[in-house]
Structure 1
Amino acid sequence: MHTRFTVLGPLRAWRGEVELELGPPKQRALLAFLLAQPNHPVGTHEIVDALWRQNPPDSAVNVVHRHIGALRRLFEPDMPSRGMSRWLVRASGGYRLDADPESLDLLRFRHLRERASGTGEPAEATELLVEALTLWRGPTASGIPPEVRAHPAFGAVDGEHLAAVKHAAERALETGREPRARVLVTLRQAAALHMLDEALQARLILMLAATGHQAEALEVYRTVRARLADDLGVQPGPELQAAQRRVLAQTYVWDDSARAEGTRSADPARADARTESAGTDRESETAGTGWVSESSGGGRESATAEPFDPDHRMSLVVPPAQLPAKLPSFTGRLDELARFRGLLPGNSASTVVISAIGGMAGVGKTALAVHWAHQVADRFPDGQLYVDLRGFHPSGTVMSPAEAIRSFLDALGVPAQRVPAGLDAQAALYRSLLARRRVLIVLDNARDTEHVRALLPGAPGCLVVVTSRHQLYGLVAAEGAYSLTLDVLGEDDALRFLSDRLGPDRIARDPGAARAIAAACGGLPLALAVVSARAAINPAFPLSGIAEELAESEGSLHAFSGEAPAADARSAFSWSYRLLSPEAARVFRLLALHPGADCSVAAAASLAGLRRAEIRPPLAELSRAHLVSETEPGRFTCHELLRAYGSELGRSLDAPPERRAARRRMFDHYLHSAHAADAVLAPSRERLTLGPPVAGTVVSEFADQARAAEWLETNRSVLLAAVEQSARRGCGEQSWQLAAGIELYLDRSGRRQEQFVAQTTAARAAQGLGDVRGQAHAHRALGFANGRLERWVDAAGHLARALDLFAYVGDRAGQGRVHRYAAFLANARGRHEEALEHYAQAGLLYREAGRRSGQASVANEVGWTHILTGRYTEALEECGRALAVHQEIGDRNGEAAAWDSLGYAHHHLHEHDRALTCYEHALELYRAIRDRYLEADTLVHIGDSRYAAGEFERAADARRQALDILDGLGHPDAEAVRGKLKDAVAAGAGEQPAHL
């Protein structure tokens, strides 16, 4: 008998045609919690947290088991045994509710949304979205206890409804009147509940105007504008302003330019004003500290960085030049290059030109894109951006659009503290930066159209070159892209390819053999390059002998089945591979296990279980054979087709235990190296105690903060990929431990979305292992990451869960750190009394744990909170207590932080001489422990006090020293300090400072 559930509105269930009575409130809430996460294992502790929050009874787990049993009997009264339940099954230390779109309205809703996203027809998409929205009958799981419904799992589902309403409005605006009217009903309801959601209100305004309600549309604009002014103290944002202009101009169709138009006209200061008005005030003049630690001086964050102005910023930095090096030789593709040249007429500044280059792996898409990009780069004076999106990387570690767009914002000079949260906001800033500029953008190895959509400019004048193994029909249909599919080289071009690399004389001596080699390689440029490299290294080899060996090679690349020349490529690779030394061949196979785009010498050595000196000869041998490429000194990469070939060889030639051991050494390399870098960045911070790395692991060591930060930045993409792959490969402990090791770095560098993804993966990995301590650390980090993204409800939920888990394992210091995170986030929202309550709990827990350093740091952070509220005398008392304890126990990092906080309090009391004395103590200590970032931080404070005392030249000197350090670290705080330095120089010259 068919069972159905609804959770989009009141929670209900039917067996056949009979509606079921779902039992007492806790049992109903349990069912709703599982339905909100269908087909996903939910741990028992998660269920307990959701049902009882922070006060579960001792019998909570038993109550959960009883409710599960009752629900099973209700849905399956004829169930023969507990283990054979169709709906509720045991999974990963908890339960999973299995459902499909026919049995659960939430899955039906998601299925319809996916279909709507996959169609290019606005009318069809609108119909599908309207059908999806009719499934909603109120807030998710309405009727269950409100304290349970406050869980983030239900809020996330509610968010899907809001996103669907916005999407339906966009699609309906591209259709006729009748579909628009149907969407308008739902849009009105949603807008009434979310008065301050400007994106939603903008769509309502356009929809009202498009259905003949122009006066009402303008009234909605006036009403929302008044609410924004009254509630937040800000003016309407770019999307609302753009919507009003479109109503007045009677242009109502929604497209990407609707969003882009508003974005480009935005006041860049407004986003900060909105954030601050909403209660997320910046906590200090220390730009971008962005982390909580024993040495953080209270976990303070920037308040003085000027609002980011895209136009001004682009005039200050050197235009980015990210194109890969120009190829030393490029053969053929004359027809393609001629067609490309026709894409850039004299008035190319009037449009965004997109070229989508498709074709199989190894056919030369990237080579053509880079070659053409270098030919036309001079026509784009504002720079060139390049990113490898890894859309078909054999390890599955695809670069997300969020990661790619963040790398572009970095290249365009956006300080980390000015990067907004969320992909949509980051994409809007990115488009604003490119407005009215001419930039060449190469998006290499895209998986599909959606992979690159957020990376497309919204303004004329740019050239975008996209390469992909797939034909990007979406770009052609929606963006008017020029599409080109590359084929393998014809015989003449293949022979020219060989001639360029081996010399015309060698080809002329045996042209028949050369044609046989070209045919054996199937005209595939990658295969031709590999064979040419081996033949060039062995100039005495006759071409006829090479051709015979290639003809004898057999096999196919199963990973690329369906691509005809792959078998020929394998023959070419095999010919080079069989001439490798045994050690080089083994290293080639093991490199295929590496998750990232490129690999360091130390990582390669760990994979092979060799010392650094021992790994260099086989890497050099592989490089000479063109089976790997050294992209920069000490870093190696190889083409995906070669990686796939190496992976196939490894599976057939290397025993599974050997491959597992290699992966373990590699993950241990990144885990222990990341923790070593973290220890250098924050020596006294609480951190995990790791077991020793497995034998054969090479661990990187760092002499100072600059080298540690450089290693983390260079390996960032690989570290994130390693977190994901180690979780996927069953190395869950390494996954969550690695995520914990890079938490501080990701937060300091402002990579909040990446932090969120990494810690979410870590939490799932730890949950899969049943590792309570790992879950505690991951939820603690997720709480802070969500706070950084201003997802306050989610932040509170994760921190509460972390508190419970740390309590479960008896880790009082861990609980203390969670309370400190909660206090930091409370201060960020202006809730200073709430912050002090959390600090009181943290101090008590540290005292019970015997962690005097933690107690002292809490005192310092309490003092910092008093500074934020203007209670400077109380701040001096608390920071003085912190100083005494840190001095007594010999914690120099904590002592330096306390001196800095004391100086900051004296500064606000206008006691500049005392402030400078405290700062000098802090500066001496930070220099002694080689904490370059906090040395710069204190120099900024010294400059501020000198400036306030009228000592402009000495203020400029301190700020100049700080700027030199921050520039050396590549730190985003440098820009704010640069502005302060200009003020000091101007004031010293008797001029009006720009910042006054």
Structure 2
Amino acid sequence: MEFQVLGDVAASHQGNPVELGRRQERCLLGLLLLEPGRVLLTDRLIELLWQAADAAERRATLHTYVARLRRRLAPYGVRIVTRGGGYLIDVDPATVDLHRFTAEVERTRTIAEPALRAQALAAALDLWRGPLLAGVADETMRQRLGRDLEERRLAAFERRVEAELAAGEHLRVVGLLADLVREFPTREHGIELFMLALSRAGRRTEALEVYRTARRTLVEEFGVEPGQDLQRLHQRILADDPDLTLPTPGSTPAAPRHLPRDVPGFVGRVAELVALDDALDDGGPSRGVATICTIGGIGGLGKTALAVHWAHRVASRYPDGQVLVNLRGHGTDAPTRPIDALGQLLRGLSVPPGRIPVDVDEASALYRSTLADRRVLVVLDNAASSEQVRPLLPASAHCLTVITSRNRLDGLVAHEGARSLRPGLLSDDEAYQLVVTMIGADRAATAGRDQIVRLAALCGNLPLALRVAAARVVVDERLTVPELLRELTNARERLSGLVVEGDAAVRGVFAVSYHALSAASARVFRLLGLVPNTALSTAAVAVLAGQPEGQLRDHIADLVDRHLLDDAGTGRYQMHDLLRLYGAERAEAEDSEPDRRRAVGRLADAYVQQGVAAQAVFHRVRATVPMRFEHPLAQPPGFDSIDAASEWFQVEGGNLLALVRICDGLGLARETWQLADCQYPFLVRTHALPTLRETQELGVTAARLDGRPDAERLMANGLGVGYALGRDFDQAIQWMKHAAQANAEHSSPRDEVVSQMSIGNAYGQKGDWAEAEEQLRLAIAGARRLDDTFMLCVCLSNLGWLYTEQGRAQESLALLEEALRIAVEHDIRQQIPPLEVHLAHQNANLSRYAATVRHARAAVAHRHLGDRLSTARGLYWLGVGLDGLGGTAEAIGYWRESLELMTEIGSGDAEYPVAALARAGHHPQGGPL
């Protein structure tokens, strides 16, 4: 299927147009197609579609539009997915004309022949059938969404004309340029091209008149003179400069060509190349300042490859030469001195050695003078610092300087106006293409895309590691990708596996950066290798190191500056996977085992104390057990709301899970079960079943090893709940009975209530209603004796659900309404969504569809509390209620959303919306049966 957003929004399948519906629905589709595969938040979509409209009033309408688009597109395999509070469209960007235009323009940069390049650019420009989202968006929306698109189109048009001129087609483009200058009378590059085309066509007088008109417009309307490039061309035309005619073979003066060959198999980096192009277009002669671009990042990221590849692409714009010097800022040798680098550069620019001063300031002045009237591209590779680079910077606005470094060169940004680019890791698609390019399409097809993407993940999508891994497959024809995968899966041996012909490329690159650290920074780096590879706060790093935050900030900044640690924003830091493995290697070699265990224990204790404080704002279904800490925090944390606690768990969830695994691997039993316990309530609320089961199972074993039967009871019951939520009721009952027997002689009355309720729920879900009712009635009686309103609310709700399943409508309603009253009166907010779901369910059973809709909407309205299962169930019952009231079309949309959410969280209840959709005559994936 193909989509068009350049012009009116349209779609076609195998050449036949597809009906897309009303204007607003087509506009919504266009908005999603602008960023395929990326979530657009509901509030953002509502703001764009209705501008000042109240978001709350438009959500249902937006949902209806999405449902209609899904119905229209589903037969063609196109999905609109609900995710993360918004929607995304799952299509290949290559099927959208806008993204195809961008890719085609980018591809033309690799076409050396001007005539072929011009043809390819003309074909890309033909994709523009009109303004962005014409017919569905107003000018205000187009300005907000595509402010740069018109500029990209014009830039592509000018590049096409440049190619035509280079191919000698000046007569053909004169008319095109006349139209361009008429529409954009102050666009200086277009004016320059028009003047050049007229001059080459023998229309010198007209070319000079174009300049006079343009200058008058610029002066009268904006009070500025034309730029230097335009003025220089004017002077050359006045002087009948013979160089303005088409170049002939051998007429170009000799110029240095020092760039190494382009990287074979260079793939991806489209965004980075566009950013570099933008920096080049924004600077230079038009602004009267020299363009400087820095490319920074971790060793092995491909900074030099990117710089060289881009330099080859833009080299034609610098006819007076391209020079390169390796500044050796990171290696076993000392960095190149500025005076030595200047000597290399000046000799490359044909300055006789005898004329090169020995004083760095004098040599730098001669270097700037030599470049004053030249168009030269300078590549400064592997820089150590801003101070090393400054004497090597040309002053001419006609020169371009590209600098690579493992260190941040913020000084050049602040004082020299450099553009800073920090490339990320390769995407999965880019990594796949890199491996395919190296090992060949046949071996890649044998391995399969999934295997290659897994290999990329083990290499951390780091270009150097990927090239080494792929090279091993190329060198050893007997080595297959699956075999290499098995070898690299062992984290302890992974760096040793990334070696070719004895060259420990990846480890060696890391070692150079590591050995340049101070002792204190190196210790922080090693300790970070021991802990989760998710974003850690400054406070967490300080706890890990056992030092005050104030002392750690300089060491963290040192690691960030050297790109050994990534600044993830908001005061959090993250380390690349392979760097973390290298850090762990160094820690094992340089730090004692007790020191490593103490560091991890400190961090685990800090997280447990924060987790306990966060879960304290939730009402706990299960009992608490005493915890102990070897490293208590000086100031215990506190959370003043469920929202704040939920946010903490969401941010730190990855660290909590990773720490459970790490502590289990280190034999830190106390820390393992305490970490498992402190995150239990949040995992249940968010229905994170795989994480819930894994942490509780590790917690059971750890509690037993720690000699804590009370904690073992807690962990076993939590594991049973995890299985029950996943509808594995036999396993659930087994673990819940295990919990009831553990620490039986020391259990509290509340422990007994929790066990009875949990076992009763599991029996009820299994279908053993008699046993379930007996256990739940015992739990309710116990909760009333204890005057525990929270437990009473939960137990009443569960028995009400059981009666609903049995068809005992009136008894169920009485219990559920009592439970809801208790939840509201005692502000037990997390129980309100499931109770509203139960009441919607029971009212649906009684065919009270208006009440069903009311309770279901109330459940969905509480989705901000994070109970995704109740939200998914509420959406299902909302559909049931609307269907009962005759609104089947709207119900289908809610059933689809329910199914998506249930599938996402792994709920066994997904069978219900599937069945409802089937009854309504619709496939679960969309479209009629």
Q: TM-score scaled to structure 2, two decimals? A: 0.44
Which gives a bigger RCO, structure 1 or 2 (Cα 8 Å, sep 6+)?
1
Greater Rg over alpha carbons, structure:
2
Q: TM-score scaled to structure 1, two decimals? A: 0.42
